[in-house]
Structure 1
Amino acid sequence: MPKSKVRKKDSSTPVTDRRTPVKAKALGPSHPIYVIVMLAMMLIGLLWLVVNYLASDKIPFMADLGGWNFAVGFGFMIIGLLMTMKWR
């Protein structure tokens, strides 16, 4: 059976990146109001779901929404979670 050829490694030349480096903008921290709104959205969503479970039959507009209360509550929480991606 023939012996396989051994590949030579050329480690003398460094690998060059073909892309030109782009400097990122130096952005400061987020405004404190942004953090408050982000946390408020997540808390509103949580409270909406808790109130839905505890007293949705006593609150007329929540009773009319029915199953859409889950969409409203989770919608608020998702908005808050999406805001965390822009938080610095």
Structure 2
Amino acid sequence: MPESKTRRKARAQQDPAASTERKPLPLWYKIVMFGSMILGLLWVVTYYITQALFPIAAAGGWNIIIGFGIAMVGFFMTTRWH
């Protein structure tokens, strides 16, 4: 059964930990999150399109791991997004 507004207010006054509000994430966090996912994707795509000449030719197959690592940073950041 749904609670009335007065009952919710009374419960929030009794237990302040239950009424904690989460702050919105700053804009820079969202930019870094989406930017790292896109950058990682572009890194891997660039590696395949240029046939291992770019982004770092000396890294060879490690370019895939670097690209996925950059993208994973963005994916891990999504766990704090609300």
Cα distance, 1:87 vs structure 2? 1.3
TM-score w.r.t. structure 1 length?
A: 0.66
Aligned residues: 67
Aligned residue type for 1:50: V
TM-score w.r.t. structure 2 length?
A: 0.70
Cα separation, partners in 2 of 1:71 and 1:58, compared to 1, 3 Å:
closer
Higher Cα Rg: structure 1 or 2?
1
| Identical-residue share of aligned pairs (%) | 36
1:1-88 counterparts in 2 under 5 A?
Answer: 23=18, 25-59=20-54, 62-88=56-82
CA deviation digits over 1:35-59, x for unaligned, max 9? 1110000000000001100115434
Which segments of 5 or more consecutive residues in structure 1 lack a partner in the other structure? 1-20
Q: Distance in 1 between matches of 2:53 and 2:65?
A: 19
Which segments of 5 or more consecutive residues in structure 2 lack a partner in the other structure? 1-14
Quick check: 2:37–2:74 contact (8 Å CA) kept in 1? yes
Aligned residue type for 1:63: A
Cα distance, 1:25 vs structure 2? 3.5
Over the residues paired in the alignment, what is the CA RMSD in angstroms?
Answer: 1.9
